[in-house]
Chain A
Amino acid sequence: MSTRVMPFRGSLTSREQVSVYEFSWPTIILIPLVAVLIQIFIPVKVRFLPIVDLPFMVTIFFATARRNPITGCLTGCVIGLMQDLFAGPSHPLGMYGIALTIIGYLASSLGVKIDVDNPGSRFLITFGFFGLHQGVYYGVAHGLLRQGLQWSWSHTAISALANAVIGIFVYKFLDRFKQR
């Protein structure tokens, strides 16, 4: 509901105090839901959209804005499980859940340390975490489930770049829902 100001805990990028944002309950529920729905149904008309991972961006946004690793974990877990629900019969529930749980935890932990409100850092965070997200997903699929996924560095890099660029605008839009 309000903006709390955390005491300075050693930010690596700014000497300013790090702001912790909060969100209303409808926002917390509806934004991930809408993101998952868009991710599922818009590709019927816009075919390139699967390369853009909106639930992933929403996870990073909430995690970095609230800067609480536990809520970051839970947010990533819930959004990932929602994404898992629609991912096909050969896709066990929990693959995206595990990946986004880790992303949520790391993003919120990183949000405590650095200023994640400017576009440059958002670009880098999204780019780096997307690669990690894909790596975790691949590790779960390959290591735990023995699924024969193919890893492509070039495809992952292009996807990460696309998500990082689009993410800047998505985060800018989502900033409106922050409550000060």
Chain B
Amino acid sequence: MDTFLGRYRNLIVLAAILFAQIIGLALQVRRPTDAGETRLIRLWAVSAVTPIESAVIHSQEWVGNLWTTYIYLHGVRRENRELRAEIGQMKIEEARLSEDARMARRIQSLLAFKEQYIDSTIAAQVIGTSGSEQSRVLYIDKGSNDGITTDMAVITPSGIVGKIAQVFPDSAQVLPINDQFSGVGAALKDSRLQGILKGAPNGATTLQYIMSDEKVVPGEEVVTSGGDRIFPKGLPVGKVVSSEPGKDLFLNIRVIPSARLDQLEEVLVVTKITEKMPDAKDLGPLRASDILAERLPTVPNKTEVDAAGNAKPGGAASSGTTPAGTGSATAAGTAAHPATPGTGTNKPGVGGTTILNKPAGAAAAPHASAPGATPEMNGTVKPKATTPANGRPAGTAVKPSSNNAAPAANMQPRESGAQDNGEASTPAKKQVKPAPESTPKAPSEQPPTPPTGAPPQP
């Protein structure tokens, strides 16, 4: 026996060590653990190492900043000029997009959409990786002491990064979207096809579970679908690189992430997401040009007056006669004409509908009560009213209130404003003729169905 042990001592030791590790492995795998539970040995190891490496990384950052901020300033003036020019262009673009966004929010409020908003984020520095190819986890220098918890979304301005997998007091572990154990609810931006974005051992990301009979074009953007309850809906994920039929019924769609996952230095941890209804009242103050357009007396364009000389109320929702008081003036319109008699009851829903019709080129009803409203307008509206006080029927409530409905002329600048979003002052100034009588509009002049999904007015 002694001879056997002595002869095979090395092998026995090897087998014993391997056996112990395999037993340990099996215990770990079979142990039911909560998602948030962290093994103490990992906690100790990470806690011991994090301060050192944080110091190293921050020192390096400091030296790098010293160089880039104070010493290496070559080309900064030229770059500054270029950036200023770019800012100017982006401001113009932003003005246009903000109008679109406001309009979209109004429409969403009408459709009772719930939106997820990122309320607060924490900036964090990437201080480490897993160090192995099989795992792509990252370590950041913010932990539970900073309010980080598991399953928080980690993003960059260019796209999502991953989620918090484990939290330590002063650091946290991030599971990036290209890790093989990661999964993110994602959707194709244009076609709205939804799937699950999964990582692979080689670091590639694929969008899975999209049927192979769907058409997916390379270059199409992928955004978060919100289905995983971690990432808010609509955050950029990446772009489709290739799409080919897979082995099963699903497409094999390769996606290149928007965020440079291999060059991350700073990330944002989303610490709070709120769900709320978009509120059209929170859209900011009305612009001066809008108010001006509403106050100026205007007349309709010739195209807005039918053969009988009856004014089309802004080309919008002609049939929508509402009884007096259920009228159509928007909140904005009301604000613009607070002293106008007979403006009618401006219900928020009604106002919303009015605004809703703006993109369709419909006249905005806020002008219904503008100065210059003629008494002849009363009773000239179509009797085919939609449900009174409903406020939701598409294209209906935009009709001016019957008692002192605004001339169609007044709606005209608003229509222009609707197209141009607040640029209505110019047409308003041009239209100075008295308003003609308002009569029911020809069906052909019906505006397109507003994007609320409500059926068009007959």
Contacts and interface: CB of A to CB of B under 8 A. Distances in A.
B29 interface: yes
A87 interface: yes
A96 to B, nearest CB: 7
A166 B263 CA distance: 23
Contacts of B127: 41, 44
B22 A39 contact: no
Contacts of A88: 130, 135-137, 165, 173, 175, 179, 181
Interface in A54-113: 69-70, 73-74, 77, 81-83, 85-98, 101-102, 105, 109
Interface in B326-367: none
Nearest to B201: A150
Given A73-B17, A93-B41, A41 B181 contact: no
B10 A85 contact: no
Contacts of B9: 70
B56 A41 contact: yes
A148 interface: yes
Contacts of B128: 40-41, 44, 86
B180 interface: yes
A78 B166 CA distance: 23
Contact of B25 (A44, A47, A83, A145): A145
Contacts of B60: 45
Nearest to A55: B131
A32 B138 CA distance: 21
B206 to A, nearest CB: 12
Contacts of B41: 85, 93
Interface string B43-61: 0011001001100110010
Interface of A: 36-37, 39-41, 43-45, 47, 50-51, 53, 69-70, 73-74, 77, 81-83, 85-98, 101-102, 105, 109, 137, 140-141, 144-145, 148-150, 152, 155, 159
Given A37-B52, A87-B137, 7 more contacts: A40-B131, A50-B131, A73-B14, A83-B131, A90-B179, A91-B130, A93-B41
Q: Give me the 10 closest cross-chain CB pairs, A-B, nearest first.
A: A88-B135, A39-B131, A69-B10, A40-B131, A88-B137, A94-B25, A92-B28, A90-B181, A94-B21, A85-B45
Interface of B: 9-10, 13-14, 17-18, 21-22, 24-26, 28-29, 39, 41-42, 45-46, 49, 52-53, 56-57, 60, 126-137, 139, 165-166, 173, 175, 179-181, 200-202, 262-263, 265
